[in-house]
Structure 1
Amino acid sequence: MENTQYIEAFLDALFLEQGLSENTIAAYRSDLEKFEHFITEQGDAKQILEVTSQDIEQYLAYRVDKGLKSKSNARAISALKRFYLYWVREKQIEQTPLATIAQPKTTQSLPKTLSEQEVEDLLSAPDCDDPLGLRDKAMLELLYATGLRVSELVGLRMEQINLRQAVVLVRGKGGKERLVPMGEEALHWIEQFLKKGRSLLVKHATDFVFPSKRGIGMTRQTFWHRIKHYAILANVKSPLSPHTLRHAFATHLLNHGADLRVVQMMLGHSDLSTTQIYTHVASERLKSLHQQHHPRA
């Protein structure tokens, strides 16, 4: 097989066996294609299953020389390890060339979040007299109330919203499902949008809860641009990312005494250590408040 065929066969196996999301598959493809491009550019142009640990080390040195961060390099190594272990399992190679390659140490960066007042300002920015504004208001309220990933939010279907019980059935990474309560405020604005706004946006039969202005499903990128638009209107100066409200959801819950494992369940984290980073954000906030207001700080 050609190098690209080995990569595609591996990605197909990831999708079929583990149900990974399109975004995760795309990240694996990107990392593997960059490595494939590197080895084909070398003098001997090895086939991808013929590389050695020395080839891997040269590739990592090349990435370091380019100034790529340790987190990016760690992800690249993880993708390569998984790729070669798959072909060991398929008996195409005897051992992985990464057996002696150590994972680079990474520093865990704290997620960027917003203060509670900044969230209030952001959520108040949409014009609810306009169908698109009403849709965006409902989406922002739901995002902050539930901590959904943006991809989970824009992909929501009508069958996943239970207005009577005020819960959302979320289909997350790897096809895992979780039930998340939406709260009274988010429930109110979703009901308002479904009654007054959604029918004005839907031009074709669709079961997406939040259609785009073209009447079809919305992309993550489109909603991200909407968030940035409202941040400008609300004069929110803090750094934003597509997951800013998800981070705010988790941090503010912990600030108000929520149990870490409950937050883990609502976020859909399979590992508690992933959620624990928000305890650091919360503790940094407490330190900041202490320094500002304690007479002996």
Structure 2
Amino acid sequence: MLFEDALEEYMYHCQAKGFTPKTMKNKRQEYKQLRIYLKEKRGIQNLESITVHDLRSYVRLKQKDGLQPQSIVSMFKMIRAFFSWCEKEEYLVENIAKKVELPKVPKKVLNGFTVKEVQAMIDAFSYKNYIETRNKAIIAMLADCGLRAMEIRGVLSENVRETSILVNGKGNKERVVFISPVLKRILIKYERIKKEYFHDTKTTDNYFLSYTGTGISHVALDNIIKKAGKRAGIEGKRISPHTFRHFYAVQCLVSGNIDVYSLSRLLGHSDISVTQTYLRTMNDEQLLDKAVSSSPLMNL
């Protein structure tokens, strides 16, 4: 069987599974690179001819090209998924990609936001007009709900309820996150100003809209977050949706009011081990606070 034919069939399988356009694009790019490498560098076109040595050689090439360990691991997950599917479809006897050793990803402690910094970024925007109010609501929701960039951009107005939000996450998996009274107060003001601003304009169903009434783009969201960080005077930290997600997770863990399993569900992680990585990112001061609050003697 031609490797190219198997790839084409697998992509339709992924499409049927409901993978996001971004995931499909990443898969196509990676499989294209692998196909070109196998054909031009190893002289391989048939699926059955691919060996563990070919895949190991491909990983080494990525390393020589300067690709970081985390990027190599992420890239190879897609390759493993393809060969796993080939095994299930009985196109191959086994998933040869399982035997490929990957570089170890160094464990880095993310220099996350403090409570004061997050408050400063929320306060960096006012209620003086629609755009300012929208930006304040976006920053507040990121901090209070821990949503991914694609999730907050994709939130629909009908899914923002009285005390919760129905979120469409990775792989089109739905989950519910909760609205605190503090966030609710901001959202009420946002909804009122949004209604006044678009009173005679046709808009999309997105909860957060651009000034023209369409959904906001990934670049626009990134610019909003960068602007919040700049106005708040935050330096030396990554200003991104993921850093807000990290802030949300760490605050939940530090408070001690939620367990890792429940947090995993709120974050939309398919595997609890992904959530556990946030435990490793807690700094010494946060760990000390958590240790003191959970001390047996302190709770007598």
TM-score category by the smaller chain?
Answer: 0.7 to 0.9
Give the whole-Å Cα distance in 2 for the aligned partners of 1:71 and 1:246: 19
Give the whole-Å Cα distance in 1 for the aligned partners of 2:151 and 2:205: 14
* One-letter amino acid of the counterpart of residue 40, structure 1: K
Deviation of the 1:2 alpha carbon:
6.8
Q: Kindly indicate whether residue 16 of structure 2 is the aligned counterpart of residue 10 of structure 1.
A: no
Aligned pairs for 1:81-96 (under 5 A) are: 81-96=80-95
Matched position secondary structure for 1:134: helix
* One-letter amino acid of the counterpart of residue 271, structure 1: D
1:69 aligned partner: 68
Give the whole-Å Cα distance in 2 for the aligned partners of 1:277 and 1:100: 25
Q: Structure 1 108/12 Cα, relative in aligned 2: closer, same or farther at 3 Å?
A: farther
1:146 aligned partner: 145
2:294 aligned partner: none
Give the whole-Å Cα distance in 2 for the aligned partners of 1:215 and 1:6: 42
After superposition, the CA RMSD in angstroms is 2.5
How many correspondences in the alignment? 287
* One-letter amino acid of the counterpart of residue 188, structure 2: E
2:297 aligned partner: none
Aligned pairs for 1:1-297 (under 5 A) are: 5-17=5-17, 19-42=18-41, 44=43, 46-47=45-46, 50-163=49-162, 166-201=163-198, 203-237=201-235, 238-260=237-259, 261-286=261-286
- Of the structure 1 ranges 212-221 and 132-141, higher mean CA displacement relative to structure 2 is found in 212-221
Give the whole-Å Cα distance in 2 for the aligned partners of 1:2 and 1:214: 48
2:293 aligned partner: none
* One-letter amino acid of the counterpart of residue 155, structure 2: L
1:169-216 alpha-carbon deviations (Å, 9 max, x no partner):
112122222221111121111111111124525732421111112211
What's the TM-score once normalised by structure 1's chain length? 0.86
Q: Give the gaps of 5 or more residues in structure 2.
A: 291-300
**Quick one: percent identity of the two aligned structures?**
23
Deviation of the 1:218 alpha carbon:
1.2
What's the TM-score once normalised by structure 2's chain length? 0.85
Deviation of the 1:36 alpha carbon:
1.7
Deviation of the 1:131 alpha carbon:
0.6
Q: Give the gaps of 5 or more residues in structure 1.
A: 291-297
